[in-house]
Amino acid sequence: MNRKQVIVGSLSKLNPYYLAKNNAVMFTVEIGFLLVLATGLALPAIPKEFASQTSIFYYEVAVILIITVWFATFSEALSEAEAKARVDSLRSLEREVSARKLVGEGKKEVIVASTSLKPGDEVLCYVGEIIPRDGLICEGKAFVDESMMTGESNPVFKDKDDHVIGGTRIASDKLRIEITAEVGRSFLDQMVSLIESATRPKTKNEIALTILLAGLSLIFIMVVGSLLFFAYFLGYIADIAMLIALLVALMPTTIGGLLSAIGVAGITRIGRDNIVAKSGKGIEAAGDCDILILDKTGTITEGSRSANEFVPLQKYTERDVGQAAFAASIHDTTHEGKSIVHLAEEKRFIPPLIEKILTARKIDFSAETRFSGLEFMPNKRIALDTELQEEATTIHKFEDGNGEEQINTNGNASRVSNMLIELEQRNEEVKILKGSVDAMLKFLTNVNEAELKWKAQEISKNGETPLLIAINSEGIGLVALKDNLKENIRQKLDDVHATGITTVMLTGDNQLTAQVIAKEANVDQVMAEAKPTDKLVRVEEEQSKGHVIGMVGDGTNDAPALAKADIGLAMNSGTAAAKEAANMVDLDSDPSKILKVVKLGKQLLMTRGAITTFSIANDVAKYFAILPAMFVTSNPKLAVLNIMQLHSPATAILATLIFNAIMIPALIPLSLRGVSFRPEPPEKTFIRNMLIYGLGGLALPFVGIKAIDVLLTYFMR
């Protein structure tokens, strides 16, 4: 953080035009400074009834007033500098580095500048070296240190086909990486662009509080102005500096000076968790959130379902299911697909016709069909390239015997093997599919539906997801997929519930599986077998009842719901439409961070409320300091109100203004850090904060003003 920029920025904000536009309270204090300064300069020409002190006193008051304003602008400049430091730290990672580019058929290493790399280029990165640009791992396994990007201290394990981020460092081994991002379009560039394009218009609560403070300032100006004429009418001395001191003491200058800093700090704090808030709207809404709509996958569970068991149907065996599942998943690069292949290889359930399966046409999963797999013509000959030949050789190593056909316990080839060979002999098209039970039942003609549903239900009772495997129109069996709960997710949701928030889990799983997972995670409500469009319907339904909704999304089909929700958190790995619709973007693409957003939102509202309470409670003691000091010379009987036994009117005024000023920098750390958040009912939080910041704000000025008065008396002797 550049201290010089903070100081220069804070001084530039002393501009009366800026203060009039952005901070009515501090603008009023600055006008008071000008009036008191003018009084000191023109003292001989002013009647004693309005200027009863020495010129030194007026200069002292003027200095304290302008310092009060500067403390307020300093707090704002400091919070803005913290936000800018985030961008600067990211930009520091964009430095040019040397890269080991692989060129020619022999893959010769050539050292080039990272800025010269283009998508499609391949580079080698060794342990300790910085990855020059975003890319895809072609070869190798390694741990990658992403702490400079994500803040996570533990290195992340990366394998073939995983994405890596430019600017991160190889912590072990080496990687061959294919560059995927152009210059200026890397993940890092996206982060900087998102942060820089984020704006901070005042939120509704900020605007309401600003209007309240401006209204109070106007009322107090009228009160003090009236007091001037009443004092003159009664023959009392109405010193201008003392009247302005009373005005400053009456106004909630502490919250007035820290309001902007609190808002900026809220966005900065959320930025530390790698979440970009496009404006303060979403963070503020998070403080009022009472319903969270959460996707099961990735938010409540790890989002990486793994194959746990092969469950056969009818006349088939576990081997049959494993072979068919292997074939249906061989082109699936998701964690789920890889886990099915791994389990089949582990059990040595390798189907025949591997070469044909490897060259088969892939059937991609879609939200409409809800199945994937492959299809091929058995007798169609396609030559394998070098990479596929290597893959086929690797797969054959997992076959029983020495590459011979797998044999079951009866000594016969498995039914799936026989089926595939027969289809080849008849030259019939083969479709091997895996997908949700209800979606695939619509086109399967050869399956015992009662048995299938019973076995799927048994899998669901264990909190696992059944995946149906089929060849052409015949059901073969089920794969049980287990998705583990995220670490500490139940504790996090318990904390959310403690604040009065209702959680809703949305999942495409069947009702039984969803209920089991919801019970494990302690989710309040479940929307099972849900389609993407159901999110928007649920958001609108809950909002029509007056609820404040938070939700997460990453796809184009999530965009309408993200735009409609009060708190819309999009994943950085998601589509452009989702990121545009949401009011926040998580750069780490971790859906469970919505829970952090809610916590930070509530913390922001608590901080603003706590400092406002403290600021208003402060005023009570200031009345007892200033009112007797103003009129005790004209009416000695008012000395009875001097309950703090302050030394003199001059020290009373100075002590009060000094205390008022130093409260702003004293509370800057609290405004930047935020009031500590506890997962508890709002009523309990309110009572605790009233005791701490209400009674504390009431008592502290009596002690502080008295202590400053004693010090002033000592040094002014």
Residues acting as catalytic residues: 295
Q: Give kind and range of the element (H or E) at residue 657.
A: helix 649-673
Other CB atoms within 10 Å distance of the CB of residue 90: 19
Asked if 254 and 666 touch (Cβ cutoff 8 Å), the reply is no
Q: In what order do the strands lie in the sheet containing 169-170?
A: 156-158, 142-145, 169-170
Token pair 């701490």: residue: 692
Q: How far is CA 397 from CA 181, 346, 350, 404, 599, in A?
A: 37, 11, 10, 11, 52
CA nearest neighbour of 14 among 257, 211, 261: 257
Other CB atoms within 10 Å distance of the CB of residue 556: 14
Rounded CA-CA distance 255/697 in Å is 12
Token pair 């019973």: residue: 454
Q: Give kind and range of the element (H or E) at residue 280.
A: helix 280-288
CA nearest neighbour of 159 among 304, 299, 322: 304
Rounded CA-CA distance 461/456 in Å is 9
Rounded CA-CA distance 481/463 in Å is 9
DSSP state of 99: E
Which DSSP string corresponds to 150-218?
H---S-EEE-TT-EE-TT-EE-SSEEEEEE---TT-SHHHHHHHHHHH---PPPHHHHHHHHHHHHHHH
- Both tokens of 247, joined, read 């005005």
Rounded CA-CA distance 688/704 in Å is 23
CA nearest neighbour of 476 among 316, 353, 279: 316
Asked if 267 and 576 touch (Cβ cutoff 8 Å), the reply is no
- Three-point CA angle 84, 85, 87, nearest 5°: 70
DSSP state of 691: I
